[in-house]
A and B are shown apart, each in its own frame.
Chain A
């Protein structure tokens, strides 16, 4: 039965900028420092303190806006967002309201074998809050009898990127977040580590009947600590909403919390009325009116973005899209690829090694490419040695695993483990003759036209050689033998 429902998803992402100092004061912007050591009267909201904007942060948000193809507002305003919370020193957050720095952009994302354009509504500038630790076993607020507040993070520059509700599936949302993260990383404006909180994401998801143009009841999901969590949470929520609609049960506009352990979403205990933040223009800060020449200088100095990099890799190296996506996922990965190709290794082969075996090893060890012992030289050597028949594919895989642990040069590993393929035909001939003699039925089948049985016979020779025979040479020898007498 064709599903009559459509899922509509939008994402709001918060990006902590990697500037030296905070957004409105000179305190160091540094993750992991001892509590309350990067603070001053301004970011602690002491009486009489005033904010002064960080120029680098403004440059970074313009970079982000330009990379997302936004218009940079000639005139934008900071606004105060007023609410009370202990981790917010002034009990208002300096943010932006109806005049943000960047508007109306888009991000193109590869989903379901095609390219989908996801609209970016706005990108705006604000300051981060402190961090609260609740004094209870679970760390959750409702069992705590005290709270500890660390203001190191208070005042860190934060950029909020709001997408249009243009995503239609959890996979699409994952692809958007992945692409956004890669783009921000390429711009060098943030560490974008979700596990450290320098990239945070909330999702809005609703369900409607395909025949409808109205949006369904919107549910906000919070507590998404990784890209994987995002996808899991959205999958759960999508199904929850569809089940409710099928059973004619009501859906409530609310905020739900994603439970990592259970993979489910639950209503947050706090009441979710639309809160009145009493926004008004920040009187302590003049309007932002970036010089168009300065904006243009930023535009021309933008680095190569992931989409452009993928296009270039596909075009210049003849890679398939799936390979380009993985190889071009990060600057580190793309640089590694190009360096390896620069050592005269065939691009498609390099891509194959990187996206299959090497990716598998990295995933299992849970480390990044630049943290591993594998170098472009390793991969180039493997490609060459397989190409010229010195080792077999199987041997190369073994060598890669060894290099991953030891870091030793490929040549040394090949010697140490005796991976060199036997290509000397005289050595192989004996095994070929044995295999033919021992398998008369397959031989008959082959002579009778069954081509595929050749593989079996080659396999028999490989067994006799203990895997050291060059399968291609063996194959040629067997064929030659059998087409003779």
Chain B
């Protein structure tokens, strides 16, 4: 029988133990660091590890708790950050050679708020280069391995954060979700992945991929933990003109209300061809439980789901082609010298960017170019409006929507690497939420016959996170998913 290690508990459990004096932050941190030492050579979740910073913060939190100070819930709990979120004085690479040695002069707002609340930073996690990918195979520094089966992908682009939380290398983590990059890896790694409403969490310091879609999200082991993290990072930021007004709130309030009387819409288009039988079965079984829990379950259509993928793969690369123009070797990052500034820029970008990044920059440049703007980017934005309307119509009849998070479980490393279009299909159920800005969460619904995790996605209207958490928490309790990756179970 294996011992329950501290690094495998939830943040909520650990926060209680801290305040009860049963453990110290130093002990929790040491447990995570030991786990990293044990499994990291096989999982490869981290790009930069910050042990000294972590230990120093843990000691500081312990001292303050000993002093009787009342600290926020996230204090003293070890956390990982996807390497697209800036950390002052700590290397931030975006999984790219072009920023391999880049050290930001400022903190991202999301990290600054967690840090101010006492979070312990373990390090920066691996990801697809500039958040472009669905498998973490596009990192310039090697892929991440899914802890449930090391020959498979953890999903992407936030593969490192997902794997770290799944395997005890962090209690919880931040990632970013532009087309599903938090929810899909959460689904493939058997953890909870939250994408909040666009604008609820500041993007200041979130190194931009697609500005109108990028969202800071959370990886946790429970829905309650997601609500705790969100409470720390959410709220208006004067440094982000797209961040939403509204009072700070505690998102754990009301989380126990259950689903009785709520109307739950099952997305018809999410159960068609292309969805693995094992995924369908697991999610369907979970949906059946919802009905028995007192929810009204019905079917709903999001008719423009078919067009969402194409719209996304025009809008996101277009914005990316502009956002990534700044990487030119002039002010920071990689510089490869040339005869003049044009040659220098060409050589720097040519050697600094990986193939998927280049592919999307070219696609985006083309879609925005004179003569094509209306047909591509312009048209995609119109489709976006239709998708927003799909959700608005659906939410008139239902309080939340449910679907599988990903059409498949974790696929083998290398399996889709040469087929970008097949790779893009991973995000078919997650992309619509980014296009419309609504919040969505993925929770594990079970394991398939191969022992790989399946994720179920709950989607709510804009700023309806309380409803989202309420449904997800109730279902999580009902399903009782408590499996650990074999790698961990063996310890």
Contacts and interface: CB of A to CB of B under 8 A. Distances in A.
Interface string A138-158: 000000000101000000000
A431 B354 CA distance: 102
B3 interface: no
Given A278-B365, A286-B241, A149 B204 contact: no
B241 A80 contact: no
A459 B106 CA distance: 82
B239 A89 contact: no
A226 to B, nearest CB: 30
B332 to A, nearest CB: 7
Interface string B191-219: 00000000000011111100110000000
B72 to A, nearest CB: 24
Contacts of B331: 44-46, 89
B369 A276 contact: yes
B349 to A, nearest CB: 10
Contacts of B106: 41, 46, 48
B330 A41 contact: no
A51 B241 contact: yes
A424 B241 CA distance: 80
B108 A286 contact: no
Interface string A19-59: 00000000000000000000001001111111111000000
B322 interface: yes
Contact of A48 (B86, B242, B322, B342): B86
A91 B330 CA distance: 11
B21 interface: no
Nearest to A85: B341
B330 A47 contact: no
B328 A84 contact: yes
Contacts of A52: 238-241
B92 A278 contact: no
Nearest to A82: B322
B302 interface: no
Contact of A90 (B212, B326, B373): B326
Nearest to B204: A50
B259 to A, nearest CB: 36
Given A47-B94, A50-B204, A50-B240, A84 B325 contact: yes
A47 B365 contact: no
B266 interface: no
Contacts of B126: none
A85 B241 CA distance: 26
B204 A91 contact: no
B319 A91 contact: no
A50 B322 contact: no
A51 to B, nearest CB: 7
A405 interface: no
A199 to B, nearest CB: 28
Given A47-B99, A47-B104, A86-B341, A284 B326 contact: no
Nearest to A285: B241
A149 to B, nearest CB: 7
B102 interface: yes
A130 to B, nearest CB: 10
A149 B330 contact: yes
Contact of A49 (B204, B341, B373): B204
A279 B368 CA distance: 7
Nearest to A90: B326
B105 interface: yes
B370 A276 contact: yes
A280 B377 contact: yes
Given A276-B369, A280-B318, A284-B211, A48 B326 contact: no
Contacts of A45: 326, 331
Contacts of A278: 321-322, 365, 368-370, 373
Given A82-B322, A84-B345, A90-B326, A47 B369 contact: no
B86 A86 contact: no
Interface string A435-460: 00000000000000000000000000
B325 A50 contact: no
B326 A89 contact: yes
A41 B207 CA distance: 12
A484 interface: no
Contacts of A48: 84-86, 104, 106, 108, 203-208
B241 A90 contact: no
A283 B327 CA distance: 19
Contacts of B99: 47
A85 B203 CA distance: 26
Contacts of A89: 326, 331
Given A45-B326, A84-B325, A278-B365, A284 B207 contact: no
A403 B94 CA distance: 69
B325 A47 contact: no
11 contacts: A47-B94, A48-B104, A50-B239, A84-B342, A91-B326, A91-B328, A278-B365, A280-B318, A280-B377, A283-B211, A286-B241
The 10 closest A-B pairs by CB, nearest first: A91-B325, A283-B211, A278-B368, A283-B212, A47-B207, A48-B205, A276-B370, A48-B207, A45-B326, A48-B86
Given A44-B331, A48-B207, A278-B321, 15 more contacts: A46-B105, A46-B106, A47-B104, A47-B332, A48-B84, A48-B108, A52-B238, A52-B241, A84-B345, A89-B326, A91-B325, A92-B322, A278-B370, A279-B373, A283-B212
